[in-house]
C-alpha cells in the first residue's frame, strides 16, 4: 500500500468518523432556531466552520454517547450566565429536541413568554434570573408524562397564578422555585401531587390566601420558603408532619393565629422564620425542643406571655434569635445563657422587666444584643455583666432603663472588657449624672448614643481622643460648658483611616431593610443639640472634614459662625438654630456642595444671606428669627450703610415693593435664579459623582 493510498484511507475514515459522531440534523436545526433568536458576547462558537455540522461540539451542548443509528441526540443545553440576550418568540425548537433532559439558561437576559411545549425527556429546567414574563401556561405543563425533577423560574417577571398543575404533569418533581416574580392569587389544589417534592420556594411574589390543604400531604419537603407574600390564615398543626423539614420561611406575610403546639416534632428544623406576620398567643413549650435550630426569628408579631417560662437550654445550635417587637413579659430567661452558640439576641420592643441575668456574661460568642424599648432596671449591673461578653460588638439599650443614675466610675471601677464594643446606645433612659470616664476605655467604639438622658456637666475633653468614634450623639441632655476644642481632634472625623462602614457588623436577617439602613449607614455625625452648651463654636471644628451631620441647635452658643466651617466639605446637615450667634453668615459656607439642610433660625445674625451654591435651595424658615438678617429670601432689602436714618422710609418702601418681590419670578430675576440653581445642581451632581466614584 502506497503512502498516498494510506493517507486517503485515513482521510475517509476521518470523514466517516465525523459523520458517525455528528448530531441529529433535527437537533441541529432546533439549536440554530434558538441561536437565531438570541445574541451573546462573546459569540457562541456554534457557527464556526470547524464543526458547523456537529452540534455536539458546540459550546454548552452535550449529546448522547451513542449515535441513534449514526446520529447523536442532544441531551443538554447548558448555557447559564453566558450573557445571552434577546426575545425568544418561537419556542418550537424546544419540543423538537426530543432527547433533551437538561436545559439551563439561568442568569442571562432572555425575554419572552413561557415555552408552550417541552420534550417529554426534560428533567432539569432552569430559566431563573432572566426576563421572561407573562403567565406560566399551565396547559403546557398539564400533559401527563413529563419527567421534570427540577424546575426553577425564579427571578423573572412571570405573573398570574402559580401553576399548581405542574405536579400532575410531573409527579417526580423534587425542586420547585417560583420565587421573585409577580405571581398573584392563591395557590390552588395540585401541589400535593408532587409527592417527592423536597424544595418549594415561592417567596417575593404577591400570592395571597391560605396555604393549600394538600401542601400538608407532601411529607418529603425539606424546605418551604414562601416569605414576602400576602399569605393569610393559620399555620396548621399538620405542619409538624414534615418530618424532614430543615427550613421553614413564612416571614413577611399575613398569617394569623398561634404557632402550633406540636411544632417541636420538626426535629430536623434549622431555620424557623415567622417574623412580620400577625401571629399571636404564647410560644409553645415544644418550640424549645427544636434542638437543631440555628435561626429563630419571630419579631413583629403579636406574641405575648412570659418568656422566662421557656427553657431554651436545648437549643445548643441556636445562633440568632429575634423576639423583638412583640408583647412578651417577664424576665430575660436565664436559660438563654445556656445557648452556647448564640451570636445575636434581639429582645427589643417588648415589655420585659427585671434585670439582665448575671449568667449572660458567659455568652462568649454573643456579638449583637438588643434590648432597647423594654422596662428593665439596673443599667450599671447590665454593663458590669455584659462587658464580659468578649465578642459583643453591638449593644442597643436605648429606652430600656428609666430614671437611674448614669453608671459612674465607682460602678464600673477599673472597667475591663467590652474589648470589641463598637456601637453603644443608651439613649432615652433619662439617666442622671455626668458623662463617665469609663467610656474612655471603650477604645473600639465607633457609635455612641447617649441622647435623651438627663446628663449634666461638661462634655469631657477625653471624648476627643476616642480613636474610632465617628458618631457622637448627645442630643437633649443638660450638658453645660463649651464645646471642647479637643472634640475637633476626633481622628475618625478627620481622616479615613477607620472605615465608617458598619456593614460588617450588620446581620441582615436580624433587621428589616429599613432598620438595617437606618442602623448601619449612619452618617458620621456630631450631635449636641438641645443642651445648655455655651461659648464660641471652636473654629477648629472645620478640621472634621469627614463630618456629614453637625447639630449644635438649641444651646447657648454665642460669637460668630466660624468661616472655617467651609472646611467640612462632606457636610450634609448643619443645624445651628436656637443659639445666640451673631455677625454675618460667612460667604464661605456657599462652598459646602453637599449641604442639603441648613438652619440658623433664632439667633442674632445680621447682614445679607449669601446667595450661591446650596444657599439657593434653602428657605426663609431656615433663617427666621434673626431680625438683622436681610436678603432676597427674607424679602428684606439689605440697608446700605449711611442710609440707616432712612430705615422707616425703607421699610415703607419695602412693603410697597413687596409686590415686586413676588413679581420677580416672572421677570429677569427668575431666569437668572433658575439658571443659577440649574448650574449649581449640575455642579453638585458632577462633583458628587466625581467625589463618590
Ligand atoms: C466551542 O467552545 C467550547 C467551550 O468553550 C469548547 O469546548 C468547544 O471545543 C468549542 N468547539 C469548537 C468547535 O470550537
Ligand atoms: C444552572 O447553572 C447555574 C450556574 O452554573 C447553577 O448555579 C445552577 O445550579 C444550574 N441549575 C441547575 C438546576 O442545576
Ligand atoms: C420541528 O420539527 C418539525 C417536524 O419535524 C419541523 O417541521 C419544524 O420546522 C421544526 N421546528 C424547528 C424550530 O426546528
Ligand atoms: C433557582 O435559581 C436561582 C438563581 O437564579 C438560585 O439562587 C436558586 O437557588 C435556585 N433554586 C433552587 C431551588 O435551586
Ligand atoms: C436576578 O436576576 C438579575 C438579572 O439576571 C441578577 O442580576 C440578580 O443577581 C438576580 N437576583 C438574584 C437574587 O438571583
Ligand atoms: C412581556 O414583556 C414584553 C416586553 O418585553 C411586553 O411587550 C409584554 O406586554 C409583556 N407581557 C406581559 C404579559 O406582561
Ligand atoms: C427523610 O430523609 C431520610 C434521609 O434522607 C429519608 O430516608 C426519608 O425517606 C425521608 N422521609 C421522607 C418522609 O421523605
Ligand atoms: C389570636 O388572633 C385570633 C384572630 O386572628 C383570635 O381569634 C384569637 O383570640 C387571638 N388569640 C389570642 C390569645 O389573642
Ligand atoms: C412592630 O411590628 C408591626 C407589625 O406587627 C410594625 O407595623 C411596626 O412597624 C413594628 N415596629 C417596630 C418598632 O419595628
Ligand atoms: C483599680 O485600679 C487601681 C489602680 O489601677 C487599683 O489600685 C485598684 O486596686 C483597682 N481596684 C479594683 C477594685 O480592682
Ligand atoms: C441621635 O439620637 C436621636 C434620639 O435618639 C436620634 O433621633 C438620632 O437619629 C440620633 N442620631 C444619630 C446620628 O445617631
Ligand atoms: C430693594 O432692592 C431692589 C433690587 O435691588 C430695588 O429695586 C429696590 O428699590 C430696593 N428697595 C428698597 C426699599 O431699598
Residue 61 structural domain:
37-133
Same domain, 544 and 520: no
Residue 83 within a domain: yes
Identify the helix (H) or strand (E) that includes residue 62: strand 61-63
Best mutation site among 253, 280, 326 for ligand 8, i.e. most ligand atoms within 8 A of its Cβ? 280
Same domain, 373 and 397: yes
Say how many Å lie between the CA of residue 601 and the centre of ligand 12: 24
Same domain, 549 and 489: no
Same domain, 380 and 521: yes
Best mutation site among 126, 149, 150, 155 for ligand 2, i.e. most ligand atoms within 8 A of its Cβ? 126
Mean pLDDT, rounded, for 490-510: 72
Helix, strand, coil share (%) of the chain residues, nearest 5: 30, 25, 45
Mean pLDDT, rounded, for 554-564: 97
Same domain, 407 and 432: yes
Which of 239-248, 324-333, 683-692 is predicted least confidently?
A: 683-692
For residue 242 and ligand 9, the question of a CB distance below 6 A is answered with no
- The answer on pLDDT for 503 being more than 90 is no
CA distances from 476 to 407, 425, 431, 449, 581 (A): 18, 14, 12, 11, 20
Q: Which residues contact 272 (CB under 8 A, 6 or more apart)?
A: 248, 263, 290, 293, 295, 296, 297
Of 77, 104, 133, the residue that ends a domain is: 133
Say how many Å lie between the CA of residue 302 and the centre of ligand 8: 9
**Confidence (pLDDT) at 138:** 59
For residue 22 and ligand 1, the question of a CB distance below 6 A is answered with no
Say how many Å lie between the CA of residue 96 and the centre of ligand 3: 6
Per-residue DSSP letter, 462: G
Query: Nearest bound ligand to CA 82?
Result: 2
Given a contact cutoff of 8 angstroms between Cβ atoms, the answer to whether 561 and 585 are in contact is yes
Same domain, 376 and 392: yes
Say how many Å lie between the CA of residue 370 and the centre of ligand 8: 28
The whole-angstrom distance between residue 217's C-alpha and the CA centroid of its chain comes to 36
For residue 638 and ligand 1, the question of a CB distance below 6 A is answered with no
Same domain, 574 and 514: no
Per-residue DSSP letter, 288: G
CA-closest candidate to residue 184, choices 215, 169, 163, 214:
163
Pocket of ligand 3 (CB under 6 A): 26, 29-30, 33, 92-93, 96
The whole-angstrom distance between residue 426's C-alpha and the CA centroid of its chain comes to 24
Mean pLDDT, rounded, for 105-133: 94
**Confidence (pLDDT) at 8:** 42
In the three-class reduction of DSSP (H, G, I as helix; E, B as strand; rest coil), residue 192 is classed as helix
Protein residue whose Cα sits closest to atom 12 of ligand 2: 126
Residue 257 within a domain: no
- 431: CATH: 3.80.10.10
**Confidence (pLDDT) at 346:** 94
Mean pLDDT, rounded, for 537-559: 96
For residue 130 and ligand 2, the question of a CB distance below 6 A is answered with no
- Tell me how many domains the chain contains: 3
- % of the chain with per-residue pLDDT over 90: 72
Mean pLDDT, rounded, for 25-29: 91
At which residue does the C-alpha cell 447657648 appear?
556
Q: Tell me: the pLDDT tens digits for 622-637?
A: 999 999 999 888 888 8
Residue 337 within a domain: no
**Confidence (pLDDT) at 680:** 38
Same domain, 511 and 543: no
For residue 175 and ligand 4, the question of a CB distance below 6 A is answered with yes
In the three-class reduction of DSSP (H, G, I as helix; E, B as strand; rest coil), residue 74 is classed as strand
Atom of ligand 3 nearest to the CA of 90: 13
- What's the CA gap between 466 and 269, in Å, rounded? 44
In the three-class reduction of DSSP (H, G, I as helix; E, B as strand; rest coil), residue 135 is classed as strand
Pocket of ligand 11 (CB under 6 A): 427-428, 449, 451-452, 471, 473, 475, 522, 525, 527
Residue 369 within a domain: yes
Residue 227 within a domain: no
Mean pLDDT, rounded, for 47-65: 82
Mean pLDDT, rounded, for 394-423: 87
Same domain, 473 and 560: no
For residue 603 and ligand 9, the question of a CB distance below 6 A is answered with no
Atom of ligand 8 nearest to the CA of 282: 13
| Conformation bin of residue 188: beta by default, left when phi > 0, alpha when psi is -120 to 50 | beta
Say how many Å lie between the CA of residue 157 and the centre of ligand 6: 9
For residue 107 and ligand 5, the question of a CB distance below 6 A is answered with yes
Pocket of ligand 12 (CB under 6 A): 637, 650, 653-654, 657
Q: What are the E-state strand segments in 235-361?
A: 247-249, 254-257, 271-273, 278-281, 295-297, 302-306, 320-322, 327-330, 344-346, 351-354
Q: Tell me: the pLDDT tens digits for 135-183?
A: 998 555 555 578 899 999 999 999 999 999 899 889 999 999 999 999 9
Same domain, 573 and 437: no
For residue 217 and ligand 7, the question of a CB distance below 6 A is answered with no
Work out the mean pLDDT of the chain and round it to a whole number.
Answer: 86
Say how many Å lie between the CA of residue 126 and the centre of ligand 2: 7
For residue 155 and ligand 4, the question of a CB distance below 6 A is answered with yes
Same domain, 485 and 402: yes
Protein residue whose Cα sits closest to atom 2 of ligand 8: 257
Residue 294 within a domain: no
- The answer on pLDDT for 642 being more than 80 is no
Say how many Å lie between the CA of residue 632 and the centre of ligand 12: 10
- What's the CA gap between 545 and 24, in Å, rounded? 69
**Confidence (pLDDT) at 485:** 94
Same domain, 456 and 594: no
- The answer on pLDDT for 585 being more than 70 is yes
At which residue does the C-alpha cell 467625589 appear?
691
- What's the CA gap between 203 and 225, in Å, rounded? 6
Q: What are the E-state strand segments in 468-616?
A: 471-473, 478-480, 525-527, 534-535, 549-551, 556-559, 573-575, 580-584, 597-599, 604-608
Residue 232 within a domain: no
Given a contact cutoff of 8 angstroms between Cβ atoms, the answer to whether 546 and 568 are in contact is no
- The answer on pLDDT for 41 being more than 90 is no
**Confidence (pLDDT) at 523:** 87
The residues facing 74 across adjacent strands are: 63
- What's the CA gap between 576 and 591, in Å, rounded? 17
Best mutation site among 129, 154, 156, 179 for ligand 4, i.e. most ligand atoms within 8 A of its Cβ? 154
* Residue 426 banded pLDDT, cuts 50, 70, 90: very high
- What's the CA gap between 96 and 115, in Å, rounded? 13
Residue 547 within a domain: yes
Best mutation site among 609, 611, 636, 637 for ligand 12, i.e. most ligand atoms within 8 A of its Cβ? 637
Q: What are the E-state strand segments in 101-221?
A: 102-104, 109-113, 124-126, 131-135, 150-152, 157-160, 175-177, 182-185, 199-201, 206-209
Given a contact cutoff of 8 angstroms between Cβ atoms, the answer to whether 346 and 368 are in contact is yes
Best mutation site among 400, 426, 427 for ligand 11, i.e. most ligand atoms within 8 A of its Cβ? 427
**Confidence (pLDDT) at 99:** 92
Q: Tell me: the pLDDT tens digits for 344-389?
A: 999 999 999 999 999 999 999 999 999 999 999 999 999 999 999 9
Residues in the chain: 693
**Confidence (pLDDT) at 410:** 75
Amino acid at each position: 500500500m502506497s503512502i498516498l493510498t494510506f493517507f486517503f484511507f485515513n482521510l475517509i475514515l476521518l470523514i466517516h468518523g465525523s459523520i458517525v459522531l455528528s448530531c441529529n440534523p433535527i437537533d441541529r436545526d432546533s439549536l440554530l432556531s434558538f441561536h437565531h433568536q438570541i445574541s451573546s458576547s462573546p459569540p457562541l462558537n456554534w457557527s464556526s466552520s470547524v464543526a458547523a455540522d456537529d452540534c455536539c461540539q458546540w459550546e454548552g451542548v452535550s449529546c448522547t454517547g451513542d449515535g441513534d443509528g449514526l446520529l447523536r441526540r442532544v441531551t443538554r443545553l447548558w448555557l447559564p450566565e453566558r450573557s445571552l440576550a434577546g426575545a425568544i418568540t418561537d419556542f418550537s425548537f424546544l419540543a423538537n429536541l426530543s432527547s433533551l433532559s437538561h436545559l439551563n439558561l439561568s442568569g442571562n437576559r432572555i425575554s419572552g413568554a413561557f415555552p408552550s411545549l417541552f420534550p417529554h425527556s426534560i428533567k432539569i429546567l432552569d430559566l431563573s434570573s432572566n426576563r421572561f414574563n407573562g403567565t406560566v401556561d399551565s396547559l403546557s405543563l398539564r400533559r401527563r408524562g413529563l419527567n421534570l425533577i427540577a424546575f426553577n423560574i425564579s427571578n423573572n417577571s412571570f405573573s398570574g397564578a402559580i401553576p399548581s398543575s405542574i405536579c400532575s404533569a410531573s409527579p417526580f418533581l423534587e425542586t420547585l422555585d417560583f420565587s421573585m416574580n409577580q405571581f398573584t392569587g392563591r395557590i390552588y389544589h395540585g401541589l400535593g401531587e408532587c409527592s417527592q417534592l423536597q424544595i418549594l420556594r415561592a417567596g417575593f411574589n404577591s400570592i395571597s390566601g391560605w396555604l393549600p390543604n394538600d401542601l400538608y400531604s407532601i411529607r418529603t419537603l425539606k424546605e418551604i420558603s414562601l416569605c414576602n407574600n400576602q399569605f393569610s390564615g393559620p399555620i396548621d398543626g399538620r405542619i409538624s408532619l414534615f418530618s424532614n423539614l430543615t427550613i421553614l420561611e413564612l416571614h413577611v406575610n399575613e398569617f394569623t393565629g398561634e404557632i402550633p403546639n406540636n411544632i417541636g416534632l420538626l426535629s430536623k428544623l434549622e431555620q424557623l422564620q415567622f417574623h412580620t406576620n400577625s401571629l399571636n398567643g404564647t410560644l409553645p413549650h415544644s418550640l424549645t425542643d427544636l434542638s437543631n435550630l440555628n435561626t429563630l426569628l419571630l419579631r413583629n408579631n403579636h406574641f405575648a406571655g412570659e418568656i422566662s417560662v421557656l427553657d431554651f437550654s436545648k437549643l445548643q445550635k441556636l445562633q440568632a434569635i429575634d423576639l423583638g417587637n412583640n408583647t412578651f413579659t417577664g424576665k430575660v430567661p436565664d436559660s438563654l445563657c445556656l445557648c452556647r452558640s448564640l451570636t445575636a439576641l434581639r429582645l427589643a420592643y417588648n415589655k420585659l422587666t427585671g434585670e439582665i441575668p448575671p449568667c449572660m456574661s458567659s455568652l462568649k460568642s454573643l456579638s449583637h444584643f438588643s434590648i432597647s424599648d423594654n422596662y428593665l432596671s439596673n443599667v450599671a449591673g447590665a454593663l458590669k455583666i455584659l462587658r464580659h461578653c468578649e465578642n459583643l460588638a453591638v449593644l442597643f439599650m436605648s429606652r430600656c432603663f428609666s430614671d437611674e443614675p448614669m453608671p459612674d466610675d465607682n460602678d464600673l471601677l477599673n472597667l475591663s472588657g467590652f474589648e470589641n464594643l463598637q456601637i453603644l446606645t443608651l439613649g432615652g433612659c433619662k439617666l442622671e449624672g455626668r458623662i463617665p470616664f469609663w467610656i474612655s476605655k471603650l477604645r473600639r467604639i465607633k457609635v455612641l448614643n447617649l441622647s435623651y438622658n438627663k446628663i449634666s456637666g461638661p462634655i469631657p475633653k477625653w471624648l476627643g481622643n476616642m480613636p474610632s468614634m465617628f458618631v457622637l450623639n448627645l442630643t437633649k441632655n443638660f450638658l453645660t460648658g463649651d464645646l471642647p476644642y479637643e472634640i475637633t481632634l476626633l481622628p475618625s472625623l478627620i481622616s479615613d483611616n477607620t472605615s465608617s462602614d458598619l456593614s460588617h457588623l450588620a446581620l441582615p436577617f436580624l433587621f428589616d431593610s429599613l432598620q438595617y439602613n437606618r442602623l448601619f449607614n449612619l452618617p458620621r455625625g456630631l450631635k449636641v443639640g438641645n443642651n445648655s452648651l455655651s461659648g464660641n463654636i471652636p473654629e477648629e471644628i472645620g478640621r472634621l472634614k469627614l463630618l456629614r451631620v453637625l447639630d449644635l441647635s438649641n444651646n447657648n452658643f454665642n460669637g460668630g459662625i466660624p468661616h472655617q466651617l467651609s472646611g467640612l466639605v462632606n457636610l450634609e446637615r448643619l443645624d445651628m438654630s436656637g443659639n445666640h450667634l451673631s455677625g454675618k453668615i460667612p460667604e464661605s459656607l456657599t462652598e459646602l456642595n453637599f449641604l442639603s439642610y441648613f438652619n440658623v433660625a433664632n439667633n442674632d445674625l445680621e447682614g445679607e444671606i449669601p446667595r450661591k451654591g446650596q444657599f439657593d435651595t434653602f428657605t426663609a424658615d431656615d433663617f427666621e428669627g434673626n431680625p438683622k438678617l436681610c436678603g432676597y429670601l427674607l424679602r428684606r432689602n439689605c440697608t446700605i450703610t449711611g442710609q440707616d436714618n432712612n430705615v422707616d422710609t425703607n421699610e415703607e418702601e419695602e412693603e410697597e415693593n413687596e409686590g415686586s418681590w413676588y413679581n420677580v419670578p416672572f421677570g429677569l430675576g427668575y431666569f437668572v435664579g433658575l439658571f443659577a440653581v440649574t448650574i449649581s445642581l449640575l455642579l453638585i451632581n458632577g462633583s458628587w459623582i466625581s467625589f463618590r466614584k
